[in-house]
Chain A
Amino acid sequence: KQEVTQIPAALSVPEGENLVLNCSFTDSAIYNLQWFRQDPGKGLTSLLLIQSSQREQTSGRLNASLDKSSGRSTLYIAASQPGDSATYLCAVRSARRQLTFGSGTQLTVLP
């Protein structure tokens, strides 16, 4: 059974800092991995989708990497801003064709 872990559960950084969020998964037989952002009381917003054949995807200040063999993905946020404060979730689509979600990392960017 696929398990997805996100560490740390919470992270606080000063504005302007570059930061990395981690996502690990136990079964490397995945089809894709998706990163989401969730603001309090809101739904999930898709940030980046990485197919299993890809190593990374970029969108603006965000860069996500995928290493299937080690069961890891990272989300890199450059020049963080207070507006980046949210919970970031990763989700893995594996052999059962359904997504398994991590519990998320709650990010606070301090002005």
Chain B
Amino acid sequence: DGGITQSPKYLFRKEGQNVTLSCEQNLNHDAMYWYRQDPGQGLRLIYYSQIVNDFQKGDIAEGYSVSREKKESFPLTVTSAQKNPTAFYLCASSITDANTGELFFGEGSRLTVL
């Protein structure tokens, strides 16, 4: 089945540690996105990538980093510089970054900082 796979589903981290969240898609989509969701708030864009080896900052990129070495993969690293990393992280993709593209999401990864 085609879709977006995020792992791990749950992750616990001590303060000062970097963690990497995985996002893999087999939809042959060009564009991929990372969003953060906090209780009672809308999703906020962290980073997005329109094509392999290219990515741009979203609205809340500070303390995060990404790479796009393969079309299928868009991992997100939450660094120790992120001041409030506990959140639900969602990866998404669309066939292109064209204005009419429909967005599809993975099941999410919940990060808790202890």
Partner-B contacts on A (CB < 8 A) = 4, 31-32, 34, 36, 41-46, 49, 51, 89, 91, 93, 97-104
Please state if A44 and B90 are interface contacts (CB–CB under 8 Å).
yes
- What residues on A are CB-neighbors of B99 within 8 Å? 31-32, 93, 97
Of chain A, the residue at the smallest CB distance from B45 is A98
Encoded as 1 (CB less than 8 Å from any A CB) or 0, chain B from 59 to 86 comes to: 0000000000000000000000000000
Q: A97 vs B42: C-alpha distance in the bound complex, in angstroms?
A: 17
- Count residues of B near A (Cβ-Cβ below 8 Å): 24
Residue on A nearest B4 in the bound complex, by CB: A43
Chain A interface main SS type: strand
Give the interface centre of A4, A32, A42, A43 by most chain B CB atoms within 10 Å: A43
Q: Which of chain B's residues has its CB closest to A4's CB?
A: B42
B102 and A46 form a contact (CB under 8 A): yes
Inter-chain contacts of A31 with B (CB < 8 A): 99-100
Contact A43 B42 (CB under 8 A): no
CA distance A51 to B4 in the complex (A): 24
Contact A43-B106, Cβ < 8 Å, known A89-B42, A98-B45, A103-B40: yes
In the bound complex, how far is the Cα of B4 from the Cα of A91, in angstroms?
19
Closest chain-B Cβ to A98's Cβ sits at a distance in Å of 6
Partner of B42, one of A51, A98, A102: A102
